[in-house]
Amino acid sequence: MADKRLIADLSVKGFDPNLYVSRAAEGGEDALLDLKQRIHILGDKTAQELKKNVYKNYSQFIDTAREISIVEGEMYQLSHMLTEQKGLMASMMEMSLVSDKAVVEEPQKEAEPEINPKEETRRNLAFLLEKVEGCSSVTEVPGRQLIHNGDLTELDIESLTPTQKVHAFLLTDSLMIASWLPNRRGPVRYRFQGLYELDNLAVVNVRDAGPVKNAFKILMFPASKIYQTDSAKSKRQWLDILEETKKKKASRDKQKKEVVQRLAEQQSVASLSRVEEASKTSFVDEEDKTTLVEFETDTLLQEDWLQELPENLDMCIAQRDFEGAVDLVEKVNEYLKESSKSPSLKEFRARIDHRVKQLTEGLMSELQVSPERSLRGGPRAARRAVAQLIRLGKSAQACDLFLKNRSAIIKYNIRQLKFEGATTLYIRCMCAVFFNSLLETSKEFLKAFPNHYGCYSAFIVWCKQELELFVKTFNRHVFDGKTSSTTVAECVSISRKHCQELCQSGLDIAYLFDGLISSDLENTIIEKREQLKDIVKYRSADDLWRPMNHMSQKDCQKYLDEMASARMDLKDYVYQECFISLTMNTAQFAKSCFQYTEDLLLVYSQEHEALITDSLVQVISEQLQHIEASLKSDKFKEDHNFILKNALFIVEVLMGRLERLYRDFQVTFPPELNAIRENYKHLKAVAKSVKT
């Protein structure tokens, strides 16, 4: 109650704190203290309330923001749907115009036999080319016409749920299905999906399939599809037209057969009579000749196995029996090679060619690199598809795909390697993977493309490309500026060794590799040289020419061991157990110089010889210059003997070691380095001249 009054008091308009306090003070100390406490409590409460309010506002703000983002998403969806609808409307308007035309044309055709069928076909099917992607082969068959077309919805054969929108084109002898490409502007709205011959296409009227209306099935081995039209009328139309077209085709085929038969009879009679006539006149009517040819080819096509060939080919392709399919194709090619061209043969050819195309696609997809396919099959898996493609005369494609496949395998394998720790180790693994793959590929290539010399150049080009990629990765790891020259040297020599191995199997890419890393390698050599020279300068600045004192025998031994690991034997220089009669500077220089030489020799190649020699000479000369300067200096007048001893160590012992190293690497010791030895005499002379 008191609190409420307090709140009321404090929140009065025109509240005068002074007046309030002075009035409250009248009540004495206790009342004042009490008031103070109450005001404090009120203050805390208000602060808390304020905090709560802020939080509440904030959470409301978040909720609102969320709601807005949802609304935004919905708006976006809506606009997307609208544009889709718009596209659909546009395409529907175009389509309906055309299909009207097709339907109108139909009866006309029936009324009068086509005057110029070829022209008609062109016009009719050219429209297909404009609308459908990848259907050029369809339009090539002479006499083929568009009978009917329309939009259909493809349903899942099991669940009857819509799967995709298609557009179907009924042609005189086949049904073409093209899938609808959403979000596509311009005239091309469909992608070619399949062409099915009416001969073995079964149409089933779906009378009742629960809630799904206006559907019909198309059974085409090996697939069967179910399509839905937008109205009962258009379904009826489709079924009727399909039926009619099939019948027409059947009667056409029948007529043809009859003609052939009749011709055969005539021919046999004619040939008999001609034999008699031949003696009288050798003149044969030109027209007669053509009919004869036609007759021959048509009887040629009457062969049973030939009749069944398209179907058998389909089966082989469906069963992925590619060898069998190619066998069939070769057989038919062989069989039809001799025969001349006639319309019926052309038609048959078109049927075969269509399947050959399918077969090629199948084989190509076998070789295609796709993310979901495992690459572990290796080159032997690809060999089968390659061999069949070559038999089909597609060696160029086969070669291209084969190499692409190999590229992917190499890339995959290299990616599988984990980069952890030592660069050398990683490079070693990478080299092993890469060069083994190259070797494997080259072997496989020779096996897969025997006598296809044209493909070999493609292989060489491929090798070069792969090597370039490899070197790119190699460079990134090896010449990144932070790697020590020793690591660089090791990595380069590992790769070179692999190159040489490859060379033994007939593929020389060593020169390519050297060429690709040459500039980086030179940079590394020069960089290291400058680094060493800097170190010499730096060490020389505070060289006091004192023997090394290792304080104890144990420590001395430790140092000796350390140097020995760098193949420097300093035992002879030890005196008084813990002293070594060389300066620290000299010993360290000898060690790093030796290491540097070893690295250089590891990457040695003829073209770098001058650089290597020059670098070594520069580094050693730098050290000798320091010695000469020390001899000339007044500071070390007393130390001449010791200095000369160090000089001798460098000129004799170190140079000796380097010479042996050169021998180990079977490289001739360059005279420029040998000449360095002469410097000792010069130094001695300098010492003498200073003393006197």
In whole angstroms, the minimum distance from the beta carbon of 215 to another protein comes to 8
Q: DSSP states of 324-345 as a string?
A: HHHHHHHHHHHHHHSS---HHH
In whole angstroms, the minimum distance from the beta carbon of 315 to another protein comes to 7
* Residue 374 makes contact with another protein by CB under 8 A: no
**Separation between Cα atoms, residue 569 and residue 550, nearest integer Å:** 16
Residue from 203, 396, 414, 417 binding another protein (CB under 8 A) = 203
When the beta carbons of 255 and 523 are compared against another protein, the nearer one is 255
**Separation between Cα atoms, residue 237 and residue 239, nearest integer Å:** 6
Contacts (CB under 8 A) with another protein, residues 59-88? none
When the beta carbons of 16 and 308 are compared against another protein, the nearer one is 308
* Residue 241 makes contact with another protein by CB under 8 A: no
When the beta carbons of 315 and 661 are compared against another protein, the nearer one is 315
Binding mask 146-175 for another protein (x = CB under 8 A): ------------xxxx--------------
When the beta carbons of 42 and 315 are compared against another protein, the nearer one is 315
When the beta carbons of 221 and 419 are compared against another protein, the nearer one is 221
When the beta carbons of 14 and 211 are compared against another protein, the nearer one is 211
- Using the contact rule CB under 8 A, the part of the chain among 51-59, 193-201, 262-270, 488-496 near another protein is 193-201
φ, ψ at 204 (rounded to 5°)? -125, 125
Q: How far is CA 624 from CA 543, 617, 632, 655, in A?
A: 13, 10, 12, 12
- The contacts of residue 248 (CB under 8 Å, 6+ apart) are 172
Contacts (CB under 8 A) with another protein, residues 242-261? 243, 250
In whole angstroms, the minimum distance from the beta carbon of 152 to another protein comes to 16
Residue from 4, 13, 185, 207 binding another protein (CB under 8 A) = 207
Other CB atoms within a 10 A radius of the CB of residue 448 amount to 24
Q: How far is CA 119 from CA 66, 114, 122, 143, 325, in A?
A: 62, 10, 5, 9, 35
Residue from 15, 61, 76, 221 binding another protein (CB under 8 A) = 221
Per-residue exposure over 185-199, b if at least 16 CB sit within 10 Å of its own CB, e if not: eeeebbbbbebbbbe
Q: DSSP states of 656-678 as a string?
A: HHHHHHHHHTT-PPPHHHHHHTT
- Using the contact rule CB under 8 A, the part of the chain among 7-15, 201-209, 563-571, 661-669 near another protein is 201-209
**Separation between Cα atoms, residue 159 and residue 208, nearest integer Å:** 14
* Residue 282 makes contact with another protein by CB under 8 A: no
Binding mask 290-329 for another protein (x = CB under 8 A): --------------x---x--xx--x---x----------
Q: What is the dihedral of CA 175, 180, 184, 186, to 10 degrees?
A: 30
First to last CA, the chain: 115
For residues 148 and 102, the answer to whether their CB atoms sit within 8 Å is yes
* Residue 217 makes contact with another protein by CB under 8 A: yes
For residues 188 and 181, the answer to whether their CB atoms sit within 8 Å is yes
Residue from 105, 140, 199, 440 binding another protein (CB under 8 A) = 199
Residues in the interface with another protein (CB under 8 A) total 32
Q: How far is CA 123 from CA 102, 128, 129, 175, in A?
A: 11, 9, 10, 18
In whole angstroms, the minimum distance from the beta carbon of 603 to another protein comes to 55
In whole angstroms, the minimum distance from the beta carbon of 224 to another protein comes to 5
Q: Where along the sequence are the contacts to another protein (CB under 8 A)? A: 158-161, 199-211, 217, 219-222, 224, 239, 243, 250, 304, 308, 311-312, 315, 319
